Amino acid sequence: MDTGDTFAQLVRLMHRLRAPGGCSWDAEQTHESLKPYFVEETYEALEAIDSGSDLGLQEELGDVLLQVLFHSEIAGERRAFTIDDVVEGLSSKLIRRHPHVFADGDAETPEEVARNWTRLKLEERKASAAPGQQPSVIDGVPAALPTLLKAHRLGEKAAGGGFDRASADDMRSQVDTGLTRLDAALTADDDQQSELIIGELLLSLVDLSRKIGVNADTALAGGLRRFEKRFRLFEARFAGREVSDIDAGELENAWKKTDDQG
C-alpha cells in the first residue's frame, strides 16, 4: 500500500468514526473541545524528540496527524474546508515559498532561504490585507505561545525581515547593561523598575541565545531537567530530617556535592 492509499484509508476511518453509528465520543467533538488535545499531543511529540525515541516520535506524530484529520473532518461537515483543501494549500505554499527549488529563485544558504520565506510571506499578507491594513514581519506569532518561545519567534521573525542587525557581542553588551541597571534598581528598592528591567534582560538573553544558534526555550528545558535531577539527589540527602533544622552551611555543601554527581 503506497502513501496515497494509506492516507486515503486514514481519512475514511476518520469519516467513519464521526458518521452515524460510529463513535459517540468522536461524534460530539468540536474544534473548541479538541483544543486541549491538540496542545497536549504537540508537547508529547516534543518530548519524544527530546527522548531520542524513533518509535515514540512515530506514535506521537500519528497523534498530531489525528488532530489535523479531526479538525478537517469537522470543518468538512459544515462545508468550510476538507483535508484535501488542507493538503493542496500546503503543497501550493511549499512550492510558492521555495522558488529557488521550483522556479528561478536564488537562495544558496539557509539564511537566504529564511529571508526569502519571510519576504514572500509578507508579500502574500500585503496582497490579501484589507484596505489600510499594514501587515508586519512579526505577524503570525500566536498570542498563547509560551512566553520564552514567543520571544524567540518574535526575534527570529524580526531578523528574517532584516530589522535585527545587532551582533552577538552587541547583545552580550546589552545583557551587561541590563544587569548594571538591575543592580541600581535593587539598591533603590524599586520593585516596579526591577520588574521592567528583568523583562528587558530576559529578552536580551533570548536574543543573545538566538544570535549564537541556541533556542532559549530548549536551553531552559534542558536546564530544568538538570535542576530536577540535581534537586532530587540533594533532597535525598536529608530524607527523614526537618529542613528547618538543617544548618545553611550544610545545605550549601550538600548542593555543591550534587553538582558533582549531576
- Confirm whether 244 is domain-assigned: no
Contacts with 208 (C-beta within 8 Å, 6 or more apart), sequence order: 168, 171, 172, 174, 175
Contacts with 155 (C-beta within 8 Å, 6 or more apart), sequence order: 164, 203, 206, 207, 210
d(CA 222, CA 218): 6
**CA 116 to centroid of chain Cα atoms:** 21
- Confirm whether 79 is domain-assigned: yes
- In the numeric block, the cell 535585527 is attached to 164
| CATH code assigned at 46 | 1.10.287.1080
Last residue of a domain, which of 75, 96, 117?
A: 96
d(CA 159, CA 165): 7
Give yes or no for a contact between 262 and 229, defined as CB atoms under 8 angstroms apart. yes
Q: What is the value of pTM for the model shown? A: 0.68
- Confirm whether 144 is domain-assigned: no
- Confirm whether 232 is domain-assigned: no
160 vs 39, 69, 102, 110, 174, CA distance in Å? 26, 31, 21, 11, 21
Q: % helix / strand / coil in the chain, to the nearest 5?
A: 75, 0, 25
Q: Which of 33-37, 154-158, 162-166 has the lowest mean pLDDT?
A: 162-166
Over the stretch 87-124, which tens digit does the pLDDT of each residue have? 999 999 999 999 999 998 888 888 888 888 888 888 88
Calculate the average pLDDT of the chain: 91
Last residue of a domain, which of 81, 96, 111?
A: 96
Range of the domain at 203: 166-214
- Confirm whether 87 is domain-assigned: yes
What letters, b where the CB count within 10 A reaches 16 and e where it falls short, cover 103-134?
eeeebeeeeebebbebebbbeebeeeeeeeee
- Confirm whether 257 is domain-assigned: no
Over the stretch 176-225, which tens digit does the pLDDT of each residue have? 999 999 999 999 999 999 999 999 999 999 999 999 999 998 899 889 99
| Residue 162 backbone zone (phi > 0: left; psi -120 to 50: alpha; other: beta) | left
Region 24-43: what's the mean pLDDT? 95
* Residue 146: Cβ within 10 Å count: 11
Which letter does DSSP use for residue 144 in this model? T
How many residues does this entry show for the chain? 262
d(CA 112, CA 180): 37
Among residues 118, 117, 122, the alpha carbon closest in space to that of 135 is found at: 122
Q: Taking 80 as the threshold, does the pLDDT of residue 165 lie above it?
A: no
Q: Taking 60 as the threshold, does the pLDDT of residue 138 lie above it?
A: yes
- The count of domains in the chain is 2
Q: Give me 188's grid cell.
A: 533603590
- Confirm whether 193 is domain-assigned: yes
- Confirm whether 19 is domain-assigned: yes
Last residue of a domain, which of 198, 214, 230?
A: 214
